[in-house]
Amino acid sequence: MIRLLLIELYKIFRRPRTYISFGVVTATSLIFQLAMKAGGREFFEFGMQDISEQFNIQGNIINGYLVAYLILQSLLIQIPLLVALVAGDALAGEANGGTLRLILTRPVSRTRLVMIKFMASSIYTIMLIVWLAVMALFLSLLVFGDGDMINLKSETFILLLKHDVMWRYACAFGFACLAMTTIASLSMLLSAFADNSIGPIIATMGIVVVFTILSNLELPLFTAINPYLFTSHMVGWKGFFDADVPYRAIGKSAMVLFLYTSGFLAATILYFNKKDITS
Amino acid sequence: MIRVLAFVFTLFLLPFTTMASDAQELYLTLRSKVLAVKDYTADVRVLIDVSYMQIPTLEGILYYKAPDKVKMVRKDGISMLPKKNISLTLGSLIPSGGVTVLDAGTATIKGHNLRILKVIPDDDKTGIVLTRIWVDEAALLAYRTETTTRDEGTVVLDLEYGSYARYALPDKVSITMDVKEYKLPKGATMDYSEAPGTPKKPVAAGGKNEKGRIDITYLSYKVNKGLSDSIFADKDK
Amino acid sequence: MWAHCAAQINNQCAGEAVMNVHGGGVNILLKTASVGGGIGYPLTFVTPYSYSNSLLLPPIVEIQNVTKSFKKVPRVSDLSFTIDKGDVYGFLGQNGAGKSTTMRMILGLIFPDAGKVLINGTELTNSRRHLLRHIGAVIERPDMYGYLSGWDNLKIFAALTDATIKEKRLYDVLEQVGLRGRERDKVKTYSQGMKQRLGIAIALVHEPDLLILDEPTNGLDPQGIAGMRQLIQSLSREHGKTVLVSSHMLHEIEQVATRMLILHRGKKIAEGPVQELLNPEEMMVRIGIVPDDVITRKLTESQWQKHVVTAADGQLTFRLNKEMIPELNRWLVNNGAGVTDIDSRHSLEDYFISLTND
């Protein structure tokens, strides 16, 4: 199992495409940091208008913690794409390249193959998020310094003291890993259905975008289905930036994501075990 | 309109001029005591209680320079002080210049027997229409002020005194003021609602504005040591 | 105890029944071969069975009444055959005949709609992983990871077998397929022939008993084709491998295979030892007649019926020995058929070409 996993990781990390994701994260973070350096204060004060009219806010507002949060928030849509880039390719890419039939002529069980591909995709996802932490958080802290963190929610203004922030990021990145693993499992499922990798990547993005829109629509019909959409729970990492962390809700969201992941994985295994390999 | 009312009110109270001049004197004595403090530096603890804000107690240094410069500084941190177009200090909230002071009876707050003064500025340059002050005559301390401003509602200061009472500097000030509501589009913040799909908390009654309370606890003061204006320059802007 | 047909036509057991008795220690095996098609019965050849090592063993591959459709289009219909240990078994059929589909079913890549696939006497579905340890395969194009070197590819696919394969074995197998010295180059720089050889190296690296090669000469130059032929022969003769090889070209199968099976539109047309299927005495005879339903009916009731391959629209096709042609002609004339032309050719090759052309 370990040997096969190492092979899978070797394949992933020897492929130039894999590094596109790391490049995208790096580039997005750098561009964002540059923009924040240039006009971050104006940008942020626009959002804080209501507050700064009434309060005199002093200090290093545009600090590394805030910049990192804004980067994470804006990468919310891109990261699933980057995860899908590898997880969506896991089975479909092999099918497209013709290597899937060669793999399956070897004595490897299909269930094990799916599990290994999923584990490898998850490891890639975690590495991507660790890289995101390095670029978005640690580099921002280096460039913008640390300080208390302001978190603007739709109806709440939150200020977190600087010594109270880092652990929240650690938890948030951990949660993000779980959320992105759900994306990886969704991509894997779609990947099992397809014989080329573009389909599952686009389909994953389509589902994430549509579900995210539904999650944010405050219409009665959609609020009723919101609790069942995994995208509503994927933003659970933000819960760690509430003054009082809603552990119960985050726990529930983590459970929902875990169930989705298991469901997607089980469906992938079931389908893939019955699939005729015609590629 | 308020000015007209105040004028009529003043006319109505003319027979009590003796009392009024007594009140005027008390007010001016109090004001000179308050204004005797030219500057101070204080270690403070600020607790902001506004329904839509989640802010822990902020500890920092508060700089004050007469007549209206205030700044709070927290080492490597963010400080927040309530802000109106008038400065929310006692020195600023008790009107300066020519005033009409009326006696408005007595009251007891936290065991202190207090005289209530109504202070109407002769001009409205400060934006203050009327200030009511609850004064402890013996100690010459204001325990409460209620300032009605032209544009920004009413600000109430509740003060508690301790070892700096001789400077009329409080150990604790609670500011109660109107705060405007705050809202950002959900699409921009992409919030994580604690339990997705459940109905949102009902919006605070009272519509657009609600009351906010800010408690400032002064731990220690350094009074009249001379503060440079540069301290109050806004570095971040 | 079970019986299997050594030679069959359209899935009907033909010729002498061949009994293979397991466990009893006594086996009387004769291999029979036949050719034919349509409604006819085969000519029967009886030859001593040459694969003594299979006497006590089940066939390495046994396909029982396997059927497979894709989107309701039948690709393989009721196919049965067996491959014994040591055979070089040729699959002949035009593109789309069902060769690859059948090979994929043997490898468990595709699941039959009906019927069974047995490897070494065990049903594949029950023990796919275990059984695949004994099989190496190159199906269709030898696709590999182009961004990795040949060596990396070989190592990766070697690791996918459960066996621990030493580096020496990797070098040996590269030597065997003639890729030594190029193993560190990226596969995307390889020629088609090199990829094909690397594919075979991958198929061989875990020393399987059965090698399945799907159109291994596709895209190779004449030199490469000759090399591949030699490789298959040496694998069979010197290394005792059983080989299942497919091609759409008869002469390729003819040159390497000991037994062969002709597939056409998913159906078995002929099966048996190559030597016997390619009997020079066997002729394919096409006779043109004035269309006549009475003659067609009489034919089906006559002794000639078993030689009929096709009979429609004034075109009759027979498979029979050369000396029988005048007799058939006489019978037709005597029964009132208006014979317009007679054309006879060497049978199997032409027959196969005619299949390919239709």
Q: B-contacting residues of A 146-165, CB under 8 Å?
A: 146-148, 150, 152-162, 164
Question: What are the chain A neighbours of C136 within 8 Å (beta carbons)?
Answer: 105
Do the Cβ atoms of C54 and C84 come closer than 8 Å?
yes
pLDDT at A124: 95
Q: Is the confidence at residue C7, as pLDDT, over 50?
A: no
Say how many C-beta atoms besides its own lie within 10 A of residue B185's C-beta. 10
CB nearest to A99's CB, from C133, C145, C152? C145
Query: Radius of gyration (Cα) for chain A, nearest Å?
Result: 20
- pLDDT per residue as tens digits for the range B171-207: 999 999 888 888 887 777 777 775 554 444 444 444 4
Give this prediction's pTM. Answer: 0.80
- Distance between CA atoms of residues B24 and B10, nearest Å: 13
Q: What is the mean pLDDT of chain C?
A: 80
pLDDT at C135: 93
Q: Does A4 touch chain C (CB under 8 A)?
A: yes
- Distance between CA atoms of residues B13 and C69, nearest Å: 106
Q: Is the confidence at residue C62, as pLDDT, over 50?
A: yes
Is A23 among the domain residues? yes
Please give the residue range of the domain that contains residue A223. 2-274
DSSP string covering C93-105, please?
A: --TTSSHHHHHHH
Question: What are the chain A neighbours of C137 within 8 Å (beta carbons)?
Answer: 105
Is B94 among the domain residues? yes
Is B69 among the domain residues? yes
Q: How many domains does chain B have?
A: 1
Q: How close does chain A come to C158, measured CA to CA in Å?
A: 9
- pLDDT per residue as tens digits for the range A179-211: 999 999 999 999 999 988 899 999 999 999 998
In this structure, of A127-136, B220-229, C172-181, the range with the lowest mean pLDDT score is B220-229
Q: Does C139 touch chain A (CB under 8 A)?
A: yes
Q: How close does chain A come to C322, measured CA to CA in Å?
A: 44
- pLDDT per residue as tens digits for the range A19-77: 999 999 999 999 999 999 988 888 887 878 888 888 888 888 899 999 999 898 888 77
ipTM: 0.83
In this structure, of A253-262, C72-81, C303-312, the range with the lowest mean pLDDT score is C303-312
Is A14 in contact with C147 (Cβ distance < 8 A)? yes
Q: Is the confidence at residue C55, as pLDDT, over 60?
A: no
Helix residue ranges per DSSP H, C279-321? 293-301
- pLDDT per residue as tens digits for the range C214-260: 999 888 888 888 888 998 998 899 888 999 999 988 888 888 999 99
Q: How many domains does chain A have?
A: 1
Is B48 among the domain residues? yes
pLDDT at B202: 47
Question: What are the chain C neighbours of A11 within 8 Å (beta carbons)?
Answer: 145, 148, 156
Query: Before B67, cis peptide (omega within 30)?
Result: yes
The CATH number of residue B83's host domain is: 2.50.20
* Assigned token pair, A15: 């492929």
Is B159 among the domain residues? yes
CB nearest to A157's CB, from B182, B192, B236? B182
* Chain A touching partners, 3 or more CB pairs below 8 A: B, C
CB nearest to A152's CB, from B55, B84, B184? B184
Q: B-contacting residues of A 86-125, CB under 8 Å?
A: none
Is A279 among the domain residues? no
In this structure, of B133-142, B145-154, C41-50, C203-212, the range with the lowest mean pLDDT score is C41-50
Q: Do chains B and C touch (3 or more CB pairs under 8 A)?
A: no
Is A229 in contact with B196 (Cβ distance < 8 A)? yes
Is A224 among the domain residues? yes
Query: Which of B74, B192, B231 has the highest number of chain A CBs within 10 A, making it the mutation to test binding with A?
Result: B192
Calculate what percentage of chain B has a pLDDT beyond 90: 18
- pLDDT per residue as tens digits for the range B21-43: 688 888 888 888 888 888 899 99
CA of residue B63 relative to chain centroid, distance: 16
B15: exposed, middle or buried (C-beta count within 10 Å: 0-12, 13-18, 19+)? exposed
Sorting pLDDT into bands at 50, 70 and 90, what band is C317? confident
Question: What are the chain B neighbours of A215 within 8 Å (beta carbons)?
Answer: 196
Question: What are the chain A neighbours of C145 within 8 Å (beta carbons)?
Answer: 11, 97, 99
Please give the residue range of the domain that contains residue B169. 10-221
User: Tokens 């009605």 — which residue?
Assistant: B148
CB nearest to A58's CB, from B79, B82, B182? B79
Is A140 among the domain residues? yes
CB nearest to A50's CB, from B180, B194, B195? B180
- Distance between CA atoms of residues C79 and C67, nearest Å: 7
Q: Is the confidence at residue A262, as pLDDT, over 60?
A: yes
- B50-79 mean pLDDT: 87
Q: Does B179 touch chain A (CB under 8 A)?
A: yes
